[in-house]
Amino acid sequence: MRASTIHAFFETAARDPAGRAVRYRAGPARWTSLSWADYAKEVRKVARGLVALGIGPGDRVEICGPNRLEWLLADFGALAAGAIPAPYYPTLPADQAAYVLEHSEARIAIVHDAAQLAKIGASRSRLPRLRHVVLMEGSAPGAISFADLRRGAAAVAEREIDERLAALKADGLATLIYTSGTTGPPKAVMISHGNLLFAAEAAPRILRTEPGDVVVSYLPLSHIAEQMISLHSPAASGYEVACCERLEDLPATLREVRPTSFLGVPRVWEKIQAKIEDGVAAAPPRRRALFEWARRLGLEAARGHEPVLLPLARKLVHERVRKALGLDRARILATSAAPINRSTLEFYESLGMPLFELYGQSECTGASTANLPERRRVFTVGVPLPGTGLRLAEDGEILLEGPHVFAGYYKDPAATAEALTADGWLRTGDVGELDRDGFLRITDRKKDLIITSGGKNVSPQNIEKRLAGIPGVAQAVVVGDARKHLAALFTLDREASLREAKACGLACGSVEEIARDPRFVARIAERVNAVNGELASFETIKRFRILPVEFTVESGELTPTMKLRRKVVGQRYAREIEEMFRDGAAA
């Protein structure tokens, strides 16, 4: 009986040896692929190469790089060798990368290129246990090339890997997932082989994947969601994975691959929406009118009506949009990892492209609740998946239980005790509500709740989702803890804000000019007032500031999974925040 996804991987390879397993770019617009049989051979070769370098059962192997074949081989190879993959994000600065390497006590690091090697070199004195660094791409002094890692396999017999695979147990530690650290140093989530297998076998129910299907791997592979999509779920169910190394290549990759399901984080869906809207804005008036007509009919249909001309709208607009995006074959379009604003959900609903919201965490090995085609409620994150226990604590905190709940945090018993109840339920740190049909709605992060000086508890995420739907706004951050009122910081989406500026009659050429133009500020103020009309009085935004920037992973305000680092924003824009709370301050 299989105890791990690496067992499932080799079973799938034996069952469908000629099937296509992985697709990757061999050059511009040129794809090559591996069959399941060849994929399995390569994984075993990497596993033997790791053993030749001294990796023993339970040793940690760090992995850092983009979504490419070598990353997948490194992870599966480590698992087949009985080792524990412990990946980290390529965007981490040198000191944070060194923290992960030091904390995990990694023996080997497999990293993308010389730039990642240099990060390790800058902190090598802190890493006495690190014996080797392997490069996925190219070669460099002080590192082993990936080709040499594979060649080293000749020194290790195949039976060594067979014995290590046979020794794996469901309750054994399989991988360390380092959290993206929204509130402090990342914690290492200990995921067992049994956790991975349970979640991998549940994933096809969410994404409706089956053998012969294809997905695009593009989100960071150090995150559990992408690992489920690109590694563990295909290992269990046998679909194909197409690697997209750079986020900027995603639009072209989608058009070329035409995936059968697609998961996007909210920012990805917002960017796609902005591109569609830009194209429509540049179209002739008749085409713009046709698009808006089709959207109106699509939204009516989403609300339960049956417009007579809906089939025509589908044919003339909706189907063409899906095909242009490369999503015409996708049976499921999903969103997860962060809250998504209502206007974005409604935009895709209006185009006949409903987004299915999921909810989960690294600590529960990915998804725990999901909207499904047969059971969906928009503006919720769905119902608990089979095998998942869900209840709300007295303060509204979401508690989860099941075979996918993690074993604890590596080297951190205090944090583990805080995260798990005595009977094994996971305290998620998220606050939610269950409706009478069992659908879950996330209202906020417990630690993010704002308590005003008047003693009112405010959920900033609920307000931020509404504010982020204002045309031209990229992100909204609500502040006001221990203050007498709430205020907000806005960042601007360049393309959308330029479009809004044009609608205001402005001839501004830059986001910086737009952000301080009184006419644009007044337009945003009107939209803020409209949002305020939907809120309780103590939730309304009394002041705001428009920042001439967009928060990014690279600039540090967002985690690699696009979650807001509130502490960083609060520190970086402390002056602007303080100004909004001065008596007499104006928007």
Residue 433: the pLDDT is 94
Report whether 116 contacts 87 (CB < 8 A): no
Nearest to 391 by CA among 365, 367, 414, 369: 369
Return the residue matching tokens 């079973």: 11
Report whether 107 contacts 84 (CB < 8 A): no
Return the residue matching tokens 């987004």: 355
Q: Which CATH number fits domain 5-200+219-237: 3.40.640.10, 3.40.50.1970, 3.30.70.1400, 3.40.50.12780?
A: 3.40.50.12780
Residue 583: the pLDDT is 65
Residue type, 413: P
CA dist., res. 516 & res. 518, Å (int): 6
Same fold across 5-200+219-237 and 264-328+331-446: yes
Which is more confident, 463 or 445?
463
CA dist., res. 367 & res. 387, Å (int): 12
Average pLDDT over residues 217-232: 95
Whether the pLDDT of residue 119 is over 70: the answer is yes
Q: Which two tokens stand for residue 500?
A: 């809004």
Residue 181: the pLDDT is 59
pLDDT tens digits along 453-489: 777 778 788 899 889 989 989 999 999 988 889 999 9
Average pLDDT over residues 417-445: 93
pLDDT tens digits along 305-354: 989 999 999 999 999 999 999 999 999 999 998 788 888 999 999 999 99
Residues 6+ apart with CB under 8 A from 111: 62, 63, 64, 65, 117, 120, 133, 134, 135, 136
Return the residue matching tokens 């960083």: 568
Across 353-357, 498-502, 519-523, least confident range: 498-502
Whether the pLDDT of residue 586 is over 60: the answer is no
Report whether 59 contacts 72 (CB < 8 A): no
Residue 452: the pLDDT is 83
Whether the pLDDT of residue 182 is over 60: the answer is no
pLDDT tens digits along 347-382: 999 999 999 999 999 999 999 999 999 999 999 999
State the pLDDT confidence band at 420, using cuts at 50, 70 and 90: very high
Q: Which two tokens stand for residue 34?
A: 């591996």
Across 32-41, 128-137, 431-440, 516-525, least confident range: 516-525
Q: Which residues of 535-562 are buried (b: 16+ CB within 10 A; e: fewer)?
A: eeeebbbbbbbbbebbbebeeebbbbbb
Q: Which residues of 348-386 are buried (b: 16+ CB within 10 A; e: fewer)?
A: bbbbbbbbbbbbbbbbbbbbbbbbeeeeebbebbbbbbe
Q: Kindly report the number of other CB atoms within 10 A of residue 27's CB atom.
A: 7
State the pLDDT confidence band at 552, using cuts at 50, 70 and 90: confident
Q: Is 88 helix (H, G, I), strand (E, B) or coil?
A: coil
Q: Which residues of 398-431 are buried (b: 16+ CB within 10 A; e: fewer)?
A: bbbbbbbbbbbbbeeeeebeebbeeeebbbbbbb
Whether the pLDDT of residue 419 is over 80: the answer is yes
Phi and psi at residue 212, to the nearest 5°: 95, -15
As a dihedral over the C-alpha atoms of residue 285, residue 286, residue 287, residue 292, rounded to 10 degrees, the angle is 90
In the DSSP assignment, the letter for residue 375 is B
Q: Which two tokens stand for residue 332?
A: 């499921």
Q: Is 562 helix (H, G, I), strand (E, B) or coil?
A: coil
CA dist., res. 24 & res. 32, Å (int): 6
Domain limits, the chain:
5-200+219-237, 264-328+331-446, 449-580
Residue 341: the pLDDT is 82
Residue 59: the pLDDT is 98
Strand bridging mode 332-335 / 355-361: parallel
Whether the pLDDT of residue 540 is over 90: the answer is yes
Q: Which two tokens stand for residue 76?
A: 């599966």
Q: Provide DSSP, 403-437.
A: TTS--EETT-HHHHHHHB-TTS-EEEEEEEEE-TT
Residue 184: the pLDDT is 61
Q: Kindly report the number of other CB atoms within 10 A of residue 105's CB atom.
A: 15
Return the residue matching tokens 């337009």: 523
pLDDT tens digits along 30-84: 899 999 999 999 999 999 999 999 999 999 999 999 999 999 999 999 999 999 9
pLDDT tens digits along 92-105: 889 889 999 999 99
Largest CA-CA distance found in the chain, in angstroms, rounded? 77
Q: Which two tokens stand for residue 260?
A: 């059968």
CA dist., res. 236 & res. 229, Å (int): 11
Report whether 444 contacts 461 (CB < 8 A): yes
Bridge partners, residue 274, by sequence: none
Q: Which CATH class is domain 264-328+331-446?
A: alpha beta
Whether the pLDDT of residue 116 is over 90: the answer is yes
State the pLDDT confidence band at 280, using cuts at 50, 70 and 90: very high
Average pLDDT over residues 399-413: 96
Across 243-252, 392-401, 408-417, 440-449, least confident range: 440-449
Q: Helical H runs in 310-385? A: 310-313, 319-325, 342-350
Q: How far apart are the first and last CA of the chain?
A: 64
- Please give the CATH number for the structural domain made up of 449-580: 3.30.300.30
CA dist., res. 529 & res. 526, Å (int): 5
Which is more confident, 489 or 534?
489
Residue 207: the pLDDT is 84
Residue 512: the pLDDT is 86
Q: Is 217 helix (H, G, I), strand (E, B) or coil?
A: strand
Return the residue matching tokens 């725990």: 368
Report whether 177 contacts 224 (CB < 8 A): yes
**Dihedral sign from CA coordinates of 312, 313, 314, 317:** positive
CA angle 7, 13, 15 (to 5 degrees): 100
Whether the pLDDT of residue 587 is over 60: the answer is no
Q: What's the number of CA atoms in the CB half-sphere (13 Å) around residue 113? A: 6
Across the chain, what does the average pLDDT equal? 92
CA dist., res. 488 & res. 479, Å (int): 6
Report whether 439 contacts 382 (CB < 8 A): yes
